[in-house]
Structure formats: C-alpha cells, structure tokens
Amino acid sequence: MDIKEFKIKLDELIINSDIVFISPHIRADYDALASSIAMSLIVKKLGKEAYIIMSDDIDKMEQGMKTIYNEAKELTSFTTKEKAEQILTDNTLLITVDMNKTYLTSCSTFLDKFRDIAIIDHHDPDQDTIATEYQYIMPKLSSASEILTEMMILSNVKITARIADYLLAGIFLDTNKFTKNASSKTMETIYKLTKKGGEIARVTDFFTEDYLADRKIQNLVSKTRFITYTAAIAIGG
Ligand SMILES: [Mn+2]
C-alpha cells in the first residue's frame, strides 16, 4: 500500500478514536523510541490524546536513550501497560511502531481490548504478525524512523531540530551508522532531517557509552587547550 493511502486510512482511525496508544517493541531502542515520539505528535496534531506505552525499566536504559526519553516527556505522554489497560475505552486505537509481532508488544495480554490496531514497521511479517488489516510494513526501508519522517511531512507536523535528532538516531542505529540498508531514499531522509536542524554530531553523542562522563572529559580537554594556548602566548610574549 502506498504511504499516502495508508496515511488517509490511519488518520481516519485516529480521528474516530477516544484515545490512541502507541506501542514500540519491548526493550525499546532508538528507532522504536524516536518513531513512537513522532507518531504521538501526528496523533496530537489531529486533536487526539496519545500515550506511548513504555514498560521498560528506564533506569536500565543506556544514557542516550534516557536523554531522549527525559527530553520527550516535555513533548508527549508516556504510560505503562498497566495504566494503559486501565484507561483504555472500547473505542481505543493501538498503533505499533518498529515491530509487528504479538510477542513484541508489552500489550500482548490485552490486544483484544483495542477497537483497532495499526502497524507501522520495517521488519518482515510472519505467522506471529498481529492480525489486522491496517498494516504499513516495508521491509525494504531502513527504519521506522525513515517511515515516520515521511509521515510527519505528509501530516504537516513541524519537525523541530530535536525531533530530527531523534529520528536521525533511529536511522543511525538501524543502518549501522548509515552504512547498511541505506538507500538513496534513506540518504534523502537524512538530508531532510539535517535541513530541519538535525545534527549528526549530537546523534553520535547519544551513542557514546557514557554520554555525561564523556561531556565532562571534553570540557576538561577544551579547558586544558585554553590554558596551553594562554601559556603559549605568555611564552611567546
Ligand atoms: Mn527499527
């Protein structure tokens, strides 16, 4: 199905729902988190409440993921599977992103409680794929972030520099630093996101093992350089 056709159907599903939940795969990674955030902004633009279901232990996430999660709390709402099950109505839509299998969503025990389920993904479907007619599964595309970039543009949702960084991080991860499965269309997406203010340098920072410690070291290094420079002038003078 063409992305524009799918988008028209998805918009209709969203508009006709009381509430929309977005589920990334369990043990979410950069692509799952970034595409969930982007999807929630599309839902909000349509005037509907959106909640991202994250049941992972945030404390156990790597630093870059925590940074994105904490920043994104200002832009969107996160909830747990327990709360989601409590607040869902009989007119609730679930959108799964970056996965299509029943066992990969934290909502697997109550999937039957959603009125409809829509899937947006780039992994191959199989016999465990959630049964729904609303599927946009494109295994040839690099990442869910690549799909969501296009959907945000189609929805006229503003891609801020921050969102561009998150989506770039998703693409960066799934393409092994832009080297694997990066088609010309992927490169075009990277180009669009950098034009929106996304910065590859910040994206690579997310992936640094200990982001904050590394920042401190970098500050120390730059201070040292300054002292050396002053000393050099002093010696020169
Ligand atoms: Mn992915």
The string of pLDDT tens digits covering residues 142-161 is 999 999 999 999 999 999 99
For position 208, what pLDDT does the model report?
A: 84
Helix (H) or strand (E) holding 112: none
Q: Which CATH number fits domain 3-206: 3.40.50.1440, 3.90.1640.10, 3.40.50.80, 3.40.50.10440?
A: 3.90.1640.10
The CA 28 to ligand 1 mean position distance, Å, reads 9
The CA 29 to ligand 1 mean position distance, Å, reads 8
pLDDT at 234 over 70: no
- Mean pLDDT over all residues of the chain? 91
The CA 22 to ligand 1 mean position distance, Å, reads 15
The CA 219 to ligand 1 mean position distance, Å, reads 33
The CA 150 to ligand 1 mean position distance, Å, reads 15
- pTM for the model: 0.88
Q: How many helices (H) and strands (E) does the chain have?
A: 9, 6
Average pLDDT over residues 6-13: 98
For position 218, what pLDDT does the model report?
A: 53
The CA 226 to ligand 1 mean position distance, Å, reads 42
For position 227, what pLDDT does the model report?
A: 47
The CA 141 to ligand 1 mean position distance, Å, reads 9
Question: What does the alpha-carbon distance between residue 107 and residue 203 come to, in Å, rounded to a whole number?
Answer: 30
Listed as own residue / partner, the contacts of 192-195 with beta carbons closer than 8 Å and 24 or more positions apart are 192/149, 192/153, 193/149, 193/159, 193/164, 193/167, 193/168, 194/164, 194/168
The CA 98 to ligand 1 mean position distance, Å, reads 5
Q: Return the minimum-mean-pLDDT range out of 17-21, 115-119, 228-232.
A: 228-232
pLDDT at 105 over 50: yes
Question: What does the alpha-carbon distance between residue 119 and residue 23 come to, in Å, rounded to a whole number?
Answer: 10
Average pLDDT over residues 29-54: 97
